Structure 1
Amino acid sequence: MRSRSTRRARRSGCTGAPPPGLALDDALILSTAGTMDQARLVPLTHGNVAAAVRVLCTTYELGPRDATVAVMPFFHTHGLVAALLATLAGGGCVLLPAGGRFSADTFWDDMRAVGATWFTAVPAIHEILLDRSAGEHPAPLAPPLRFARSSSAPLNTATQRALERTLGVPLLSAYGMTEAAHQASSEPLPPPGTSKHGSVGRPTGTRIQVVDPSGQACPPGVQGEVWVRGPSVARGYLADPAATVRGFGEGWLRTGDLGHLDGDGALFLTGRIRNLITRAGDQVSPEYVEDVLCGCPAVAEAAVFGVPDERHGHRVGAAVVLREGEDAEPAEIARYCLGRLAPFEVPERIQVVPALPRTAKGALDRQAVQLRFAR
């Protein structure tokens, strides 16, 4: 007897056999971003997706009066689950840009056309909107926004505050991953909670713990690996049992992210374990150094990487994109970092580049960064 999954695949015209490990309740198979290692297939059940959508509707109080512009692609959970399904589940309206993707040239026209009350995007899009806000933000004819949202990559605190001033509404940082059907935590709408800039908020429909290398829970303020569990978390990866064993266990998703919880349960992320750069025995978080670099007034974007070095193992390198109209030398940017970073964290080599490589979702493509700039 053929499985229901196989019959669905054949009816849809797919001639190949479905991946092994599918279950009858699977609704979606999505790929992880693969920004630093091999992308993997994640099966999400109807229950996973429904739980994720309910959490998003509840967290942001989405209802029939809400509308958004879908600037994130639908082949990842950010665009599909957060922008599209959650808005429609709340009874709201979603406008698809004419070109099928984000365009800074048409974004505010689209937002006004649909009467957008919120939007969600990666930090790279927020940076673009901020850089172009002086000439393009339509105040006082802006759409009736309640809030904006950022996810899928770390959001620089300076950008967050500046864009909040421009938009006149909160810009909420959220944390998620494909394996959890997108959102695991988020800053809250004000009221009832007060956002903590620099954090990705508190768990939303999930349990989050931070653990040390032995798997023991870390006390507040102590860095460790972030683990997530809840009804939206997938059961594992398709056709990759070794990765499933490494990433899932006893109901927990081992995210590979580094961070800490504060005394109120707010989560602060500091980077990815596999991204750490080892320099003469010290470990450097690229994400943390990038956050400091982006605080430099002339810098719009930054990518930090390890440069192979026979003596130290690695040296710290950085590629930066300057803000429009700004002119800064690498030595000037390095001086900005002094006192803000430990000496071993300060990039020894800084390159000013016109653009950084990004994935289709808009996240920094660290594999491409390493290949392009670390030679």
Structure 2
Amino acid sequence: MSFNLAVILRESRTTAPQAPCLLIDGRPMSYAEIDDESSRFARGLAREGIERGSVLAIALPNGAEFVVAYFGALKAGATVLLLNPLLKARELAYLLADSGARAVLAHHRFLDDVREGVELAGNAAIFAVGEASAALPAQVRSYRELLIGASVAAGIGVGEIEPTSATDTAVLLYTSGTTGEPKGAPLTHFQLYMNCTLSAETVGLRREDIALGGLSMFHVYGLGMLNATVRSGAALSVMSRFRAGEALRQMEQDEVSIVLGVPTMYFELLRADSSRFDLSRLRIGASGGAAMPAEIHTRFEQRFGVPIVEGYGLSETAGSATVNKPGDQRFGSVGKPIWGVELRIVDDQGHALPPGPDHIGEIVVAGHNVIEEYHRRPDATAAAFTRGWLHTGDLGYRDEDGYVFVVDRKKDLVIRGGYNVYPREIEEILYAHPAIVEAAVIGVPDARLGEEVHAVVTLRPGTHAEPEQIIEFCRRRVAAYKYPRVIRIIDELPKGPSGKIVKRDLQALFTNRTGSQSTAERKNT
């Protein structure tokens, strides 16, 4: 079956060519503009020999060039390798070599690392965005070269879309690599189409909607945001980088009706002064990427007067696996499996567990959204898949009505003296403390107990709390083996590109005592 994901752009253009597709600094770019520009880009790629099956790496922040290049590469039949533009040369070299990328499109500010990464990985063409051609270093060409003069290119005709197979790889995303080297997750045209179609239906995306584009498009959740917006013919109010104050200003200016974000984005919006902005168009929020603390969820809905629907997914599931539907949701849950997807909770032997919070096990998923294998990694594929079921590495349970509750990452589970401690449970309690704005709980090796429960928190401006007081706050609310014995107060928790807290970076706080003077720590046994 011939199918190319770029059809979602073409169909929205056909329906309403002058409707805004992107809003950048308040300036609209129509569906006709984006469709035409991406077709020119596709012809430019064909001129460079980048065609069906070739890999084009895009290492750009959010912007018009990202969207044009993404849909242009799809139209050419190429596979899009999405990269964080902040990656360093060594990281880039691995990803470029492993994917076999033929070319890299990067922002001119990051060219030093891109050039070094390409040199380490082997031969790949480099195209730069945002700098005049005369100022570019040797062996680097301008993005505009793929547009200017492309009309005379051979290969793809004017406005044509390469007839790829529905099962061809459209996008190659690499997992974060918290255990070993990053693994490539190949997502097909069909999988991404199903993801954006179901996502748009879930939140009721309409042609007149304007979504806040604060998620990084190189991340699976941000990519889903872009695809769902284009699929529904709505507009995306683009942010190159999320900042709460700027987001509120942009939400008023562009009359944003839908916010798609990760929990830390909602947390930052709560911290900002929203009282002076007219946000009357806002009607719904969607959260994913990490579990949302109940305290933040409740406070946001009360402050902004709109519901938040929470979902769950991974790169390996094209971004979606479960979702709460408006009007059919359960607080604290990530909802039910999306259409066409099966989900089970299994024990360590792979046996399905009955419903209920006393039956926590690993979440496994199967369906049209799940990748078939990791790119060139048969060992990782064999470890993660059992007869078509993906082992997610996440722990959770289902209630009697089928709603899924994610408890924690399996690797984050703390085993203290033989008892299981789920960090998210303790984090929920910490978020309820009046002085705490962010919290993360980790296990630290302990000679007597195997692991000890430690917590890292940040405080609200103008508040004060002693570690002993926070420990006592937790001790009164959970069993004795669960509460954190060590609290460390810091200025800011480390976060990854999607806004999730990076817990592996917190371990050093308890092994390296040279931290900033703003930290505080007490041991309570």
TM-score (norm 2): 0.65
1:313-352 equivalences under 5 Å are: 313-352=450-489
Cα distance, 1:37 vs. partner? 5.7
1:108-187 equivalences under 5 Å are: 108-132=248-272, 135-138=273-276, 141-187=278-324
1:18-37 equivalences under 5 Å are: 25-35=168-178
Note the alpha carbon deviations across 1:100-141, whole angstroms, 9 max, x for none. 110112111111222211111111111111122xx32446x2
Given the superposition, is the C-alpha separation of residues 182 and 318 from structure 1 closer, same or farther in structure 2, using an over 3 Å criterion? same
**Which amino acid letter does the alignment assign opposite residue 216 of structure 1?**
H
1:202 aligns with 2:340: no
Q: Secondary structure at the match of 1:5?
A: coil
Counterpart selection for 2:504 from 345, 367, 374: 367
Q: Distance in 1 between matches of 2:193 and 2:393?
A: 25
Structure 1 residue aligned with 2:103: 13
Structure 1 residue aligned with 2:113: none
Cα distance, 1:225 vs. partner? 0.7
Structure 2 residue aligned with 1:310: 447
Note the alpha carbon deviations across 1:130-159, whole angstroms, 9 max, x for none. 122xx32446x2141121011111111011
List alignment gaps of at least 5 residues for structure 1. Answer: none
**Which amino acid letter does the alignment assign opposite residue 344 of structure 2?**
Q
List alignment gaps of at least 5 residues for structure 2. Answer: 1-49, 56-77, 80-99, 105-117, 125-165, 513-525
Cα distance, 1:279 vs. partner? 1.5
Note the alpha carbon deviations across 1:287-340, whole angstroms, 9 max, x for none. 222122112121111111122211111211111011222211111111111232
Counterpart selection for 2:243 from 78, 86, 103: 103
Task: Say whether the 8 Å CA contact 2:175–2:182 is kept in structure 1.
Answer: yes
Note the alpha carbon deviations across 1:238-265, whole angstroms, 9 max, x for none. 1222211111222211101111001111
**Which amino acid letter does the alignment assign opposite residue 365 of structure 1?**
V
Note the alpha carbon deviations across 1:208-260, whole angstroms, 9 max, x for none. 11111221211111211111112111112112222111112222111011110
1:211 aligns with 2:346: yes
Structure 2 residue aligned with 1:47: 190
**Which amino acid letter does the alignment assign opposite residue 227 of structure 2?**
L
Structure 1 residue aligned with 2:421: 284
Percent identity among equivalent residues?
33
**Which amino acid letter does the alignment assign opposite residue 191 of structure 2?**
N
1:247 aligns with 2:295: no
Counterpart selection for 2:404 from 262, 267, 273: 267
Note the alpha carbon deviations across 1:329-358, whole angstroms, 9 max, x for none. 111111111232221111111011101111
**Which amino acid letter does the alignment assign opposite residue 55 of structure 1?**
L
Q: Distance in 2 between matches of 1:374 and 1:122?
A: 29
TM-score (norm 1): 0.90
Q: Distance in 2 between matches of 1:13 and 1:214?
A: 44
Structure 1 residue aligned with 2:207: 64
Task: Say whether the 8 Å CA contact 2:245–2:269 is kept in structure 1.
Answer: no
Cα distance, 1:84 vs. partner? 1.0
Q: Distance in 1 between matches of 2:439 and 2:510?
A: 12
Q: Greater relative contact order (Cα 8 A, min sep 6): structure 1 or 2?
A: 1
**Bigger Cα Rg:** 2
Cα distance, 1:371 vs. partner? 2.3
Note the alpha carbon deviations across 1:267-291, whole angstroms, 9 max, x for none. 0111011111221111222222212
Q: Secondary structure at the match of 1:155?
A: coil
**Which amino acid letter does the alignment assign opposite residue 41 of structure 1?**
G
Note the alpha carbon deviations across 1:154-180, whole angstroms, 9 max, x for none. 111011011001110101111111100
Cα distance, 1:39 vs. partner? 2.9
**Which amino acid letter does the alignment assign opposite residue 314 of structure 1?**
E
Q: Distance in 1 between matches of 2:385 and 2:51?
A: 26
